[in-house]
Amino acid sequence: MKELIKRINGIDKNTKALIQQRLNEFKSFKDKNSEEWFSELCFCILTANSRAKTAINIQNELGPNGFINKKQSELVETIKRNKHRFHNNKAKYILEARKYKDIRSIIEGKSETEARAWIVANIKGLGYKEASHFLRNTGHFKLAILDRHIINLMFEHNLINSIPKPIKKSDYLL
Catalytic, 169? Answer no
Q: Which candidate in 70, 90, 101, 129 is catalytic?
A: 129
Among residues 130, 110, 161, which one has the least CA distance to residue 52?
130
Q: In the structure, how many helices (H) and strands (E) does the chain have?
A: 11, 0
How far apart CA 101 and CA 67 sit, in angstroms, is 9
Catalytic annotation present for 102: no
Marked catalytic residue, from 30, 99, 110, 147: 147
Q: CA 13, 17, 7 angle in degrees (round to 5)?
A: 50
**C-beta separation of 30 from 112 below 8 A:** no
Say if CB 54 and CB 83 are below 8 A apart.
yes
Q: Which residues are catalytic?
A: 129, 147
